[in-house]
């Protein structure tokens, strides 16, 4: 009797799209510079346990390697390529490795009032499974991803605003 062995390349990729906005009580230029100032302690600011290494390839290209605890999955490594568009206060993050390789995330900061700004986030998380889940399951996954990523950005917003307040008070 013949045996069929599935190769990982036989897995069907599918994307889950989601988006959200996050307001900041800081000017857009400050929010942008703060957000793209990648550091090893970033995961802790997002409420994650793990380590991050940062390798700047140029002024507008950064490679991040994140090692974090994935619950029951043990330690997970994700390598991401960050492409920065300073003139537009915009950047992308593309997963190069990991279970969600080829996922891509878009970030745009906009000014809103004198000392207010907004992040608009669009995510396209790629999954590799034997078959694509139902529309209902994809919607549920999108809600979960939105909740997780927006919570991380709420935490980052608090840290950003605290840093802004501290730097603003030093100047006065």
Instruction: Give the mean pLDDT of 22-35.
Output: 97
pLDDT bracket for residue 169 (50, 70, 90): low
pLDDT bracket for residue 170 (50, 70, 90): low
> How high is the mean pLDDT of the chain?
89
CA distances from 34 to 11, 102, 147, 159 (A): 38, 25, 22, 10
Instruction: Give the mean pLDDT of 138-166.
Output: 95
If one looks up domain 13-37+86-171 in CATH, what number appears? 3.30.530.20
Instruction: Give the mean pLDDT of 82-102.
Output: 96
Residue 19: φ, ψ to 5°: -155, 160
Q: Which of 22, 72, 19 is nearest to 46 (CA)?
A: 22
What percentage of the chain has pLDDT greater than the value 70?
91
Q: Examine the pLDDT at 14 and tell me if it is beyond 50.
A: yes
9 exposed, middle or buried (CB, 10 Å; 0-12, 13-18, 19+)?
Answer: exposed
Distance CA 28, CA 125 (A): 26
Residue 104: φ, ψ to 5°: -140, 140
């Amino acid at each position: 009797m013949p045996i069929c062995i599935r190769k990982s390349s036989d897995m069907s990729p599918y994307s889950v799209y989601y988006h959200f906005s996050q307001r900041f009580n800081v000017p857009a230029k400050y929010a942008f510079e703060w957000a793209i100032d990648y550091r090893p302690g970033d995961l802790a600011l997002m409420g994650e346990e793990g380590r991050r290494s940062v390798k700047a390839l140029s002024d507008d290209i950064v490679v991040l390697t994140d090692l974090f605890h994935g619950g029951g999955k043990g330690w997970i490594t994700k390598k991401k390529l960050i492409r920065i568009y300073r003139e537009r206060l915009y950047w992308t993050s593309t997963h190069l490795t990991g279970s969600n390789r080829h996922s891509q995330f878009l970030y745009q900061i906009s000014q809103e009032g004198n000392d207010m700004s907004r992040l608009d986030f669009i995510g396209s998380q790629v999954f590799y499974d034997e078959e694509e889940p139902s529309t209902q399951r994809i919607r549920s996954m999108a809600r979960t991803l939105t909740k997780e990523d927006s919570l991380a950005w709420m935490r980052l917003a608090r840290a950003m605003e605290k840093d802004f307040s501290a730097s603003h008070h030093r100047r006065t």
